[in-house]
Structure 1
Amino acid sequence: MTELDRAAGRGLAHELVEALKAKILGGEIEPGRKLPAESSLMAEYAVSRTVVREAISRLQAAGLVETFQGRGSFVLAVPEPSPFSLPADRLRSHRDILDLLDFRLGLEVEAAGLAAQRRTEHQLKAIERALGDFRRAADNPAQAVEADYAFHLKVAAASGNHFFTELLGSLGPMMIMLPRTRLDAAYSYDDAAHFTRVTLEHENIHDAIARADAEAARAAARVHLANSRHRLQEG
């Protein structure tokens, strides 16, 4: 049995991802080879099936494995590092922040539609957990930013297209945080009415993905981001 670091506080799924990633990047599991079966990973690392599935989902989102129904998960060739990055210091003006939201509109609307078509039950649960974390962060703006970002990242991962995940991953929580610094206080997470509106917008995205309604998911994502842009434009 292989021991995971259970005291690190990062979660067993994270630790399992890191263990498997080390084997993949280190060449121990070569491209084209099949990952061990779920039952084997459960026994080797003493974790639940839920943890194994979450870890494999994250490896898929990172573009390290591909899963085929009934056949298992196979290791892909290690991708080259993405050259795309958007450091916070490049967003210097109000126009830059508006352009960032335009960029997100083009990216996340389609990601939400694909998520409705392709998401697994496990990925839907991950979106639900992120939504729940956001709801519980009503009194903690810093946590709300992290939970907001996690929600959008989980939707991107559920699209099944790792480029969406990589692009949002390169932006980080700053894609949520920086626009907030430009908004009037009435649009901050400290404002209960605003927080309720944003929560409802997130719920509409989740609900459409849960129903596998791609067009409704695109519409809900478009409304949410367009509302964010409108609020920023007014600010």
Structure 2
Amino acid sequence: MQTHIQTGMRTYPMNSQPSSPAKRKTRSLTFELVEQLSAEIQKGTLISGQKLPTEAAIMARFGVSRTVVREAISKLQAGGLVATKHGIGTFVLVQTDTPAFRINPSQLSTLHDVVALLELRISVETEAAALAAVRRNEGNLRVMQEAMLAFSSAIEAGRDAIAADFQFHHEVARATQNQHFADMMNSLGAQSIPRTRLETTRTLDADRLAYLRRIHQEHESILNAITAQDAESARAAMRTHLSNSRDRHKKGLSSHH
């Protein structure tokens, strides 16, 4: 994946506040830059296939930091407006009159939004897991195993595991050998992993680590079923995994009322 908007499990000193004025300012500058670049793409000032200016050029033009530029580009990627080719640059994607299905970051700002997205993911990814069990190839299995290893290594080291988490789910979709599933996961992006929106400022305490290890075990159950080409077990394992996440966020939703 490309640069991510959020970085998962950051650990802050006891006396620091994650939502500092500086962070809030960075966030607002990021959204301003996203709006300006989005407007230029929509108006055709930046045309389909055009390479975006370099980070340094955008920093100079808009008077913002490298962090703001990278976060803004991440949001544009999540919105389906640009795509980054590693080592080459970031390019404007073709914009059609009929808007493509996408979920913008602003649509994932509350617990209710996240629960709604998880409901969609349950319906799509449960069936994707069953198809993946029937159709997967050795390459798919290898990528899923690599993603699981990256996820495990990251959580044990207290690092961000979101990219690895998304990679696992994306590869399940690819293993269906049905491009529509992969395209849908692409349109959702790493922002579809709930922790990217709601839990990025939490320290990695014992409860959090136990939760992430449980996710890893759930991924393992999905992978085992897909490896065994057991469609029903794969379907059930994916449903359990995503339903657990939905129910956990529903509890958070009820506790906010």
Cα drift, residue 92 of structure 1: 3.4
CA deviation digits over 1:14-41, x for unaligned, max 9?
A: xxxxxxxxxxxxxxxxxxxxxxxxxxxx
Give me the CA root mean square deviation: 2.9
Q: How many residue pairs get matched?
A: 157
Do structure 1's residue 200 and structure 2's residue 217 form an aligned pair? yes
Q: Distance in 2 between matches of 1:160 and 1:86?
A: 23
Q: Distance in 2 between matches of 1:211 and 1:92?
A: 38
Amino acid at match of 1:88: P
Highest RCO, 1 vs 2 (Cα 8 Å, sep ≥ 6): 2
Q: Which residue of 2 aligns with 1:129?
A: 146
Q: Distance in 2 between matches of 1:105 and 1:116?
A: 16
Q: Secondary structure at the match of 1:160?
A: coil
Q: Distance in 2 between matches of 1:137 and 1:154?
A: 19
Q: Distance in 1 between matches of 2:109 and 2:147?
A: 29
Q: Secondary structure at the match of 1:137?
A: helix
TM-score (norm: length of structure 2): 0.55
In structure 1, stretches of 5+ residues that fail to align are: 1-79
Amino acid at match of 1:133: A
Cα drift, residue 90 of structure 1: 1.8
Do structure 1's residue 217 and structure 2's residue 254 form an aligned pair? no
Q: Secondary structure at the match of 2:102?
A: coil
Q: Which residue of 2 aligns with 1:226?
A: 243
Cα drift, residue 86 of structure 1: 0.9
CA deviation digits over 1:6-65, x for unaligned, max 9?
A: xxxxxxxxxxxxxxxxxxxxxxxxxxxxxxxxxxxxxxxxxxxxxxxxxxxxxxxxxxxx
Report if the CA contact (8 A) 1:137-1:144 is conserved.
yes
TM-score (norm: length of structure 1): 0.60
Q: Which residue of 1 aligns with 2:112?
A: 95
CA deviation digits over 1:110-143, x for unaligned, max 9?
A: 0000000000111111111111111111145653
Report if the CA contact (8 A) 2:126-2:239 is conserved.
yes
Q: Which residue of 1 aligns with 2:173?
A: 156
Which residues of 2 match residues 65-80 of structure 1 at below 5 A? Answer: none
Cα drift, residue 161 of structure 1: 0.8
Q: Distance in 2 between matches of 1:189 and 1:166?
A: 36
Q: Distance in 1 between matches of 2:238 and 2:107?
A: 25
